[in-house]
Chain A
Amino acid sequence: MIVELLIALSVGAGLFGVGLYGALSQTNLVMIVMGVELILAAALVNLVAFWRYLHPDEPAGQMFVLIVMAVMAVEMAVAFGIAIARFRVRGSVEMEEARELKG
């Protein structure tokens, strides 16, 4: 059973790495959101793996997964809200062109 756990956690690590690369390298807000989604998905995989292989009798583990899913949805909603507002003002959601937000 330990091998399954390691496989699942490694998949989580892989998703985290890919998501981090994406979130940092993309210039478009929507693509960055995609990277963040991947990172959160990595967290999901880990949470489910921990629940399944370490504490299967504890439903709180599953509840955590629900909360992370909610966070994913919220993150997307907020990001797209900002994207629309920004696009309306500026006609662009490219990060390179959002330097004035840098302070």
Chain B
Amino acid sequence: MTLAGAREGAMSGIRRAVAAAMARDLSAFVLPGPSVARAMGLDLAGSHLRVVGTPRHANVLILVGPLPDGLRDAAAVTYAQMPRPRAILTLGAGDIAPLPDADVSAPPTRAGLRSGLADLRRVIAAGAFRTDSGEFTAPALEVRVEYTCPMHPEIIRDAPGDCPKCGMTLVPRETASDGHGGHGGHDMPQEDRPSPAEHAHAGQAEDAGGAGAYTCPMHPEVISDAPGKCPKCGMFLVKAEEGESHGHGHRHGHGGHGHGHGSEAHGAHGAHGAHGHGDHGGHGKQQDHSGHDGHDGHDGHAGHGGHSKAAIDGIEPHFMSMVELTEGQPRSSDGLQMDWIEVPFGPFFPGLPAGLRLTLTLDGDTVAGSEARSLVGRAELVDGPQMTAGDFVGRLAAMMPLGPVAYRTLACAAIEEASRADPGQDARRGRAAAVERERIASHLGWLAEFGLQSGFLWLAARARALQLAVQGADIDGIAAQAGAIRALIRRVETAPLMRMRLGRIARIGKDAPASGPVDRARGVGSDARAGDPTLIALGFEMCVREGGDALARLRLRCDEIAQSLDLIAAAGRIAVPEVPDVETVSGEGAATIETPRGAARLRVKLTDGKVVEAELDTPSDVNIALVETVTAQRELGDALAAVASLDLSPWEVRG
């Protein structure tokens, strides 16, 4: 047995003991995420392995369920970040390119997990070290060096040379292919890095002096032919350098702010710098400066033309102005403009929903801007020209790994609506109870994720165990767990520091569009169940909480768990819906179901018993738009807690 990700070295002596230790001590990084594994009923954390939060600390990559196309590149980066020896275990994942073939594959069941882990331990113990271990390469990992003109960012070449516009020597710049796993930079030793500040230096050789002979040190746009005072601030104008006259804006070689955190951060800097270099008129003197690096050797003002602001008398020519660097940057909430870095979180970030790519622009540790995107993407609902009803129901349920029962029920209800079929009262109650059971599991899963994110590990462990117990449990199983679940809820309500952690963050106003618990936690809100006679007969009443912040959402979810327990008890039976027999009916129908994350609406069109058209509105589609609101000007930890409090499912978001 060989391990694809073995570490270089002969398997002998002490290495055998080390390999045995590695086999015992498995640290797993789970793709797409532990939440997906739990939704499939797999108890990873309870299988004598540690689930870790960064691939750097993992030696096993566990892939659960099929890997969505949008996550493949990120998965490759994640794998590349793991230190060798590293292994891959797939549980029902199928094709996992561009990752190397799985070392062990097993079906995604509890028994499969057990046998898979046992096999994995054997493989690692036998083959952790190998003399001929190969390199792992994937397109996503290639760092491309491209050449760009410091003055004309639109000029990008693959080879060094001169800029066709101004004749300056192009400078190298690293770019990585898109789709990084959110853990900046991989580990290839590379010594000579292109320094962004060199861009800035060169970039300063930008336009020649000022227009007039005198200018205000504070307001460079004030230009006068004669000495005097600035009309804006009353300061004495200072002598500007002689130069050809052209109006210059505030250009700043922004690249000087080089923390350089990973190539993505570089990219972000480049983007910042780009608008600094955006427009500039012709400048004929540029050729004179082509190819000069740095500014050493320039001993005078004459012919230097090196500063985008008119050089103030007395300032040495090589001096790089900090005012210019900070000038165009947006102000942050505290008025101190810091270097902004763009940090990607996700798609496999431990504290965020798996598959969600959150890009935060950080100003210090305050979030200045954010962008949330689902890398999973929802595919077409109807595969091909038409599908049978059974295939369609199965496909929709498989597309939503975090809520399969609710979407299965939704698909069945919509098809029944289209075919005017009636499942009967008993079936309706069974279905309602099945959806409620999934709601309990989903909310418990959310509590586990929240516990993990906020370091409330007791909650994470307890909620995880209860979620696994509830999933797929029959009516007696639920009744057996009800006491424990209620105790957990009470404990959550009274946990110390909870209000301090979640209170008043991620507040959402009453007019912003929102769905599901997010909506009901702000005092108003709607619930698709409120119009369902079956549920009303079971005693359903809409839960509402005031506040609209993350704490209210937590409490509302707890309320809903308690209520769902009551509803299941009242329903008396749990039944996942059967695919309705539609034969050759044609027609259109729509159904709405309150999934754990909010109301989902499906409209289907049947032709001769086949589904030909379908349209789905999901709650996460609505709620993902709130990310920007809830993170704006928040401290990083609060921003992440805010995003988590929305309970997004990237699988529901339109691709």
B238, B316, B326, B336: which contacts A84 (Cβ < 8 A)?
A: B336
Flag the segment in B258-266, B317-325, B340-348 that touches A: B317-325
Contacts of B321 in A (CB 8 A): 92, 94, 96-97
- Please tell me if the beta carbons of A91 and B326 are within 8 angstroms of each other in the complex: yes
From 55 to 103 in chain A, residues with beta carbon under 8 angstroms from any chain B beta carbon are: 84, 87-88, 90-94, 96-97, 99-100
- Please tell me if the beta carbons of B322 and A99 are within 8 angstroms of each other in the complex: no
Cα(A43)–Cα(B315), bound, Å: 33
Cα(A99)–Cα(B237), bound, Å: 12
- Please tell me if the beta carbons of A92 and B312 are within 8 angstroms of each other in the complex: no
- Report the minimal beta-carbon distance from A41 to chain B, rounded to whole angstroms: 27
State how many residues of chain A have any CB contact under 8 Å with chain B: 14
Residue A27 at the chain B interface, CB threshold 8 Å: yes
Cα(A97)–Cα(B325), bound, Å: 12
Q: Which of B322, B326, B337 has the most CB of A within 10 A?
A: B322
Residue B116 at the chain A interface, CB threshold 8 Å: no
A87, A90, A96: which contacts B315 (Cβ < 8 A)?
A: A96
Cα(A88)–Cα(B329), bound, Å: 12
| Nearest B residue to A100, CB-CB | B235
- Report the minimal beta-carbon distance from B392 to chain A, rounded to whole angstroms: 59
Cα(A90)–Cα(B336), bound, Å: 10
- Please tell me if the beta carbons of A99 and B217 are within 8 angstroms of each other in the complex: yes
- Please tell me if the beta carbons of A96 and B319 are within 8 angstroms of each other in the complex: yes
Contacts of A92 in B (CB 8 A): 321-323, 326
- Report the minimal beta-carbon distance from B254 to chain A, rounded to whole angstroms: 13
- Please tell me if the beta carbons of A91 and B323 are within 8 angstroms of each other in the complex: yes
State how many residues of chain B have any CB contact under 8 Å with chain A: 19
Residue B335 at the chain A interface, CB threshold 8 Å: yes
- Please tell me if the beta carbons of A94 and B322 are within 8 angstroms of each other in the complex: yes
Contacts of A27 in B (CB 8 A): 319
| Nearest A residue to B337, CB-CB | A91
Contacts of B218 in A (CB 8 A): 100
Cα(A94)–Cα(B238), bound, Å: 18
From 17 to 52 in chain A, residues with beta carbon under 8 angstroms from any chain B beta carbon are: 27-28
- Report the minimal beta-carbon distance from B260 to chain A, rounded to whole angstroms: 20
From 296 to 321 in chain B, residues with beta carbon under 8 angstroms from any chain A beta carbon are: 312, 314-316, 319, 321
- Please tell me if the beta carbons of A93 and B312 are within 8 angstroms of each other in the complex: no
| Nearest B residue to A96, CB-CB | B315
- Please tell me if the beta carbons of B322 and A88 are within 8 angstroms of each other in the complex: no
| Nearest B residue to A87, CB-CB | B336
- Report the minimal beta-carbon distance from A93 to chain B, rounded to whole angstroms: 7
- Report the minimal beta-carbon distance from B6 to chain A, rounded to whole angstroms: 49
- Please tell me if the beta carbons of A99 and B323 are within 8 angstroms of each other in the complex: no
Residue B327 at the chain A interface, CB threshold 8 Å: yes
| Nearest A residue to B312, CB-CB | A99
- Report the minimal beta-carbon distance from B312 to chain A, rounded to whole angstroms: 7
Contacts of A99 in B (CB 8 A): 217, 238, 312, 314
Decide yes or no: A100 and B335 within 8 Å by CB, A91-B326, A92-B322, A94-B321 being known contacts. Answer: no
B217, B316, B319, B337: which contacts A100 (Cβ < 8 A)?
A: B217
Cα(A92)–Cα(B235), bound, Å: 18
- Please tell me if the beta carbons of B323 and A97 are within 8 angstroms of each other in the complex: yes
| Nearest A residue to B334, CB-CB | A88
- Report the minimal beta-carbon distance from B309 to chain A, rounded to whole angstroms: 10
- Report the minimal beta-carbon distance from B321 to chain A, rounded to whole angstroms: 7
- Report the minimal beta-carbon distance from A22 to chain B, rounded to whole angstroms: 17
Contacts of A90 in B (CB 8 A): 323
Contacts of A87 in B (CB 8 A): 336-337
Contacts of A96 in B (CB 8 A): 312, 315-316, 319, 321
- Report the minimal beta-carbon distance from A20 to chain B, rounded to whole angstroms: 20
B217, B316, B322, B335: which contacts A93 (Cβ < 8 A)?
A: B322
Contacts of A88 in B (CB 8 A): 335-336
Cα(A97)–Cα(B314), bound, Å: 11
Cα(A97)–Cα(B216), bound, Å: 12
Contacts of A94 in B (CB 8 A): 321-323
Cα(A100)–Cα(B235), bound, Å: 8
Contacts of B329 in A (CB 8 A): 91
Contacts of A91 in B (CB 8 A): 322-323, 325-327, 329, 337
Contacts of B238 in A (CB 8 A): 99
Cα(A89)–Cα(B531), bound, Å: 58
Cα(A64)–Cα(B323), bound, Å: 41
- Report the minimal beta-carbon distance from B412 to chain A, rounded to whole angstroms: 61
A91-B329, A93-B322, A97-B322 known; 13 new pairs, CB 8 Å cut-off, are A27-B319, A87-B336, A87-B337, A88-B335, A88-B336, A91-B322, A92-B321, A92-B326, A96-B312, A96-B316, A97-B217, A99-B217, A99-B312
A-B contact pairs, 10 of them (CB 8 A): A87-B337, A90-B323, A91-B325, A91-B326, A91-B337, A93-B322, A94-B322, A97-B323, A100-B218, A100-B235
- The 8 tightest CB contacts between A and B, nearest first, are A91-B326, A92-B322, A92-B323, A94-B322, A96-B315, A88-B335, A97-B323, A91-B323
